[in-house]
Amino acid sequence: QVQLQESGPGLVKPSETLSLTCTVSGASVNSGSHYWSWIRQPPGKGLEWIGDIYYTGSTNYNPSLKSRITMSINTSKNQFSLNLSSVTAADTAVYYCARTVLYYDSRGYYSGAQYFQIWGQGTLVTVSS
Amino acid sequence: EVVLTQSPGTLSLSPGERATLSCRASQSVIGDFLAWYQQKPGQAPRLLIFGTSTRATGIPDRFSGTGSGTDFTLSISRLEPEDFAVYYCHHTTFGQGTKVEIK
């Protein structure tokens, strides 16, 4: 059974960097069959895709967050990570990691769309001084 | 960017009734690459449908997805008590969600 588990500080100060790690069990992050994503949900609000990463280190980021995001992957630990810099209160959210499948068009090119197959339970990160 | 608009915002129904949830895209969805997720309070979302109409592993057949182009629908044929939740459609962005509540 594939499981994902987020970990990291629950409280981050404004202007600092939010750092989270997702540990995968029951599957290998370097299988080549999936991408690995971060999604967030502010309290009482909807879902926002942050970005995804492939085992090669190739990434796709949400354009609205791109300047502040760094994602990395550690295949030896079967983990992937998110760094979000210069955080503000607007970054307060539950952060989810997810195993991801990308959609490709009929020519075999990435369409820009994906779906999130398996989710972690989520971790609440609060930005506050 | 494709913007997804879900309607209604809230659907009040009784167990055993049929639920019909709408998701409209601001432009045609490439390849009908649309997914639906269910989220219950305090839980992570769960994938229900991908590729517009394919049920994810373990999803009961009372859930069905249809549509093409800009108009997509999630139907729940007979609501079970565990189906009362918030439902999101997703392509490259998420819709704002439809809450299915007990009437």
Instruction: Report pLDDT digits (tens) over A62-108.
Output: 999 999 999 999 999 999 999 999 999 999 999 999 999 988 888 88
Residue of chain B with shortest Cα separation from A104: B31
Residues 24-53 on B with a CB inside 8 Å of A are: 29-31, 33, 35, 37, 43-47, 50-51
Helix and strand tally (H, E) in chain A? 0, 11
pLDDT, tens digit, for every residue of A3-57? 999 999 999 999 999 999 999 999 999 988 899 999 999 999 999 999 999 999 9
Query: In this structure, are residues B87 and B98 in contact, taking their beta carbons and an 8 Å threshold?
Result: yes
User: Which amino acid is residue A24, in one-letter code?
Assistant: V
Q: What is the C-alpha to C-alpha distance for residues B8 and B46, in angstroms, rounded to an integer?
A: 20
The residue count of chain B comes to: 103
Contact check, Cβ <8 Å, A111/B94 = no
Closest CA to A6 of A30, A34, A28, A38: A38
pLDDT, tens digit, for every residue of B5-25? 999 999 999 999 999 999 999
**Chain B contact set for A114 (CB, 8 A):** 92
- Give residue A112's pLDDT: 81
Q: Is B68 a residue whose pLDDT tops 90?
A: yes
- Give residue A63's pLDDT: 93
